[in-house]
């Protein structure tokens, strides 16, 4: 098998850097996309993912620049810095992979515990449950807050409707004081997102109304637990897979860079030995 030359190793490194660039850009985009998709929801996770995505963009740009310039010119300093940056990025991606797996399991276990009446460890899941556990059906579409809906669509006794009523429970004048909803907007925002996007209402049980989207959509046909769990699994899984792929790509890039440096050093040493063997003028061979 023919030995890969210096130019061959340059090309290998540039190809690997190109693959890393595309994977890094996709991962950064996906992280920032996650941070802004569920507006107001999972805020602690959102902020961590958003800043990780921004950091990923800069790390990807720096690694690509070092890889391209260092690979073409075989600049030792740049290639050594490149190895250092890639090792740091590998550590960050492995950290993200571990944290993502733990977060996914934590959220799924917490949803299950909440629906079984156990205490919640994740404040956002607990607050979503708290919102629905306020027994909103006794307040919404009642004399305290008539709703603007067609009562014939709902098989509910004592449902109070009014053509001037409200479409959403949070439009009711004394809604917050009546139910002492948590002051942070995270739980309300994610409940609004779930009801609007997934057409469900309630976390663990079916609710009679859509409270935070539009009651005129009619009776909800399902609660949001299954869709919430599926979303958590799919989004975290994509993040895990991409982080793992980038880790492997970076590992191969590090090995390729080391081989490029080693071969370049060997060629330089070989050239220096050849010059040493060339006799000066006047010397006998």
Q: Is the pLDDT of residue 51 over 80?
A: no
pLDDT at residue number 201:
92
Rounded Cα distance between 200 and 197, Å, is 8
- Is the model's pLDDT at 207 over the cut of 60? yes
Residue 87 to residue 96: CA distance in whole angstroms: 14
Within 10 A of 36 (CB to CB), how many other CB atoms are there? 10
DSSP string, 229-254: HHHHHHHHHHHHHHHHHHHHHHHHHH
79-108 residue pLDDT tens: 888 888 888 888 888 888 888 888 888 889
pLDDT at 278: 52
Distance CA(257)–CA(42), nearest Å, equals 40
Domain-by-domain residue ranges, the chain?
6-115+240-271, 135-180
Q: What is the mean pLDDT of residues 26-47?
A: 59
Q: What is the pLDDT of residue 120?
A: 66
Rounded Cα distance between 199 and 220, Å, is 7
**CA–CA distance, 226 with 264 (Å, rounded to integer):** 56
**Token representation of residue 240:** 């895990």
* Nearest Cα residue to 48 out of 90, 86, 85, 92: 92
The tens digit of pLDDT for each residue in 239-277 reads 888 888 888 888 888 888 887 778 777 666 665 555 555
pLDDT at residue 195 tops 50: yes
pLDDT of residue 281: 55
- Backbone phi, then psi, for 178, in 5-degree steps? -65, -40
Mean pLDDT of 178-183: 60
Residue 40 has pLDDT above 50, yes or no: no
Q: Would you state the structure tokens that stand for residue 230, as one six-digit string?
A: 């599926």
Residues 6+ apart with CB under 8 A from 64: 17, 20, 21, 24
Whether residue 123 has pLDDT greater than 50: yes
For residues 31 and 53, the answer to whether their CB atoms sit within 8 Å is yes
Mean pLDDT of 131-150: 85
Rounded distance, CA 97 to CA 151, Å?
49
As a whole number, mean pLDDT of residues 36-60 equals: 64
Say which DSSP state 159 is in. -
* pLDDT over 80 at 153, yes or no: yes
Q: Is 107 helix (H, G, I), strand (E, B) or coil?
A: helix
Average pLDDT over residues 183-188: 64
| Integer Cα distance of 198 and 222 in angstroms | 10
Average pLDDT over residues 204-231: 89
For 57-81, b/e burial (b = at least 16 CB within 10 A) is bebbeebbebbbebbeebeeebbee
Mean pLDDT of 34-56: 61
Identify the pLDDT of residue 226: 92
- Using only C-alpha atoms, the chain has a radius of gyration, in whole angstroms, of 30
**Bridge-partner residues for 145, per DSSP?**
140
| % of the chain exceeding 70 in pLDDT | 76
Greater model confidence, 49 or 3: 49
Percent of the chain with pLDDT over 90: 5
For the chain, what's the residue count?
A: 285
Phi, psi of 23 (to 5 degrees): -65, -40
**Closest listed residue to residue 145, CA positions, set 126, 159, 155:** 159
The mean per-residue pLDDT over the stretch 138-146 comes to: 88
What's residue 235's pLDDT?
Answer: 80
Q: What is the mean pLDDT of residues 173-186?
A: 66
**Residue 5: its pLDDT value, please?**
66
The residues, ordered by sequence, that sit 6+ positions from 99 with a Cβ below 8 Å of its Cβ are none
């Amino acid at each position: 098998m023919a030995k890969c030359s210096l130019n061959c190793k340059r090309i290998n490194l540039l190809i690997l850097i190109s693959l890393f660039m595309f994977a890094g850009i996709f991962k950064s985009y996906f992280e920032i996309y996650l941070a802004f998709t569920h507006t107001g929801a999972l805020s602690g996770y959102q902020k961590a993912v958003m800043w990780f995505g921004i950091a990923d963009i800069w790390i990807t740009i720096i690694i690509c620049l070092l890889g391209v310039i260092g690979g073409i010119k075989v600049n030792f300093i740049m290639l050594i810095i490149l190895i250092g940056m890639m090792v740091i990025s590998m550590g960050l991606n492995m950290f993200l992979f571990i944290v993502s797996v733990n977060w996914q399991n934590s959220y799924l276990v917490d949803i299950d515990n909440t629906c079984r009446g156990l205490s919640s460890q994740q404040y956002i899941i607990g607050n979503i449950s708290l919102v629905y556990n306020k027994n909103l059906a006794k307040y919404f579409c009642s004399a305290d807050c008539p709703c603007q809906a067609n009562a014939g669509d709902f098989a509910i006794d004592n449902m109070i409707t009014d053509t001037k009523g409200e479409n959403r429970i949070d439009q009711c004048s004394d809604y917050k004081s009546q139910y002492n909803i948590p002051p942070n907007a995270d739980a309300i925002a994610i409940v609004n997102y779930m009801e609007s996007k997934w057409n469900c209402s309630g976390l663990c049980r079916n609710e009679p109304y859509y409270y935070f989207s539009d009651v005129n959509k009619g009776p909800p046909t399902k609660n949001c637990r299954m869709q919430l769990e599926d979303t958590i699994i799919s989004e975290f899984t994509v993040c895990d897979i991409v982080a793992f792929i980038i880790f492997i790509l970076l590992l191969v890039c590090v090995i390729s860079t080391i081989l490029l440096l080693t071969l370049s050093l060997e060629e330089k040493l070989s050239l220096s030995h050849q010059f040493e063997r060339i006799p000066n003028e006047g010397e006998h061979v």
